[in-house]
Amino acid sequence: MAATSPTTHATLRLTPRNQRTLISSAIVEGFGYWSGKDVRVEFRPAEPDTGVVFFRDDLPGRTPIPATVHHRIETPRRTTLSSGGATVEMVEHILAALAGLRIDNCEVHANAAEMPGCDGSSLTFVEALQRAGIVEQDAPRTHLVVTETMRVGDEECWVEASPAARCELSLRYRLDYGADNAIGRETLQLTVTPASFTRELASARTFLLKSEAEWLRSQGLGTRATYRDLLVFDDEGPIDNELRFENECVRHKTLDLVGDLALAGCDLIGRITAHRTGHRQNAELVRALLREGQKIDRRRSA
């Protein structure tokens, strides 16, 4: 990690908010893109200060797997969490849905390791969670305030956090696949709120190049998923599918960023700028922020 010197910024007036959970349970069923296995996920309300915790109901012991960066293990092209020998994979779209809607406390029960791919976005999860309803709890939410500019990564792929001028989380993502393919270069900037996440990010789908999809299938991965399940690009554009947004690819990368930042386990206040970054760099930034940021727990500061 390379960190610059502290950046001077005005003291923010943080508006405290209370934690939130679900009113009732929500269920999503589907299959894992990587494994092809059927999976059922149930979202359940949780007490204040629980955070987001996964449970593998198909394993003995029901070991809790907290959705924090400390439980993240490195896996190519997806976010995986592990605790006590239990593992859950492809959790980033679920975490993005919960964080985007500001659902802070939730038990996520699954009967398989890999979470359902659905349509490659967070939309199915968001709709199920909204149907279940969201309620405020009588406990304050912890904030982590970015107090200096810091960057992780290298010249090719990097993500940077800097202080915010307002009490908000602002994201800017620069996607660059070069000029010789249909994905190309795209940029998106967004202040994350439940409304903006639902409107601008939730329905943006997973994407990859045809050459990448063919290689994965040659390895026995993703054989159940079709071109209708996610966005696969050839030289002309998405195969057997249509874009929901002209810049859907960068929107999905921003959705992934929301999910990975949720591994901080608290609200982030700052500006995050990402260039061609992936899950590993996003998690590295979260670790750096937890070390260097100003964490404010309203229960202790009241």
Q: Return d(Cα 164, Cα 211) in angstroms, integer.
A: 40
Q: Tell me the pLDDT band of 83, cut-offs 50, 70 and 90.
A: very high
DSSP 11: P
The string of pLDDT tens digits covering residues 205-238 is 999 889 888 888 887 877 888 888 889 999 899 9
- What's the whole-number mean pLDDT along residues 271-276? 97
pLDDT confidence of residue 301: 45
pLDDT confidence of residue 11: 59
The string of pLDDT tens digits covering residues 6-43 is 333 445 677 779 999 999 999 999 999 888 999 999 99
Q: Of 71, 252, 275, 279, which one is the catalytic site residue?
A: 279
CA atoms lying within 13 Å on the CB side of residue 147: 11
The string of pLDDT tens digits covering residues 170-199 is 999 999 998 888 899 999 999 999 999 999
Q: Evaluate if residue 300 carries a pLDDT over 70.
A: no
Q: Return d(Cα 281, Cα 206) in angstroms, integer.
A: 18
Q: Return d(Cα 64, Cα 54) in angstroms, integer.
A: 6
pLDDT confidence of residue 5: 31
Indicate the average pLDDT of the chain.
91
pLDDT confidence of residue 8: 35
* DSSP H stretches of helix in 1-114: 92-100
Q: Calculate the alpha carbon distances from 107 to 32, 34, 83, 110, 237 in Å.
A: 20, 23, 15, 10, 39
Paired with 42 in beta bridges are 27, 109
70 is catalytic: no
pLDDT confidence of residue 112: 97
The structural domains of the chain, ordered by start, are: 18-141 (3.30.230.20)
Closest CA to 121 of 144, 146, 90: 90
- What's the whole-number mean pLDDT along residues 264-291? 95
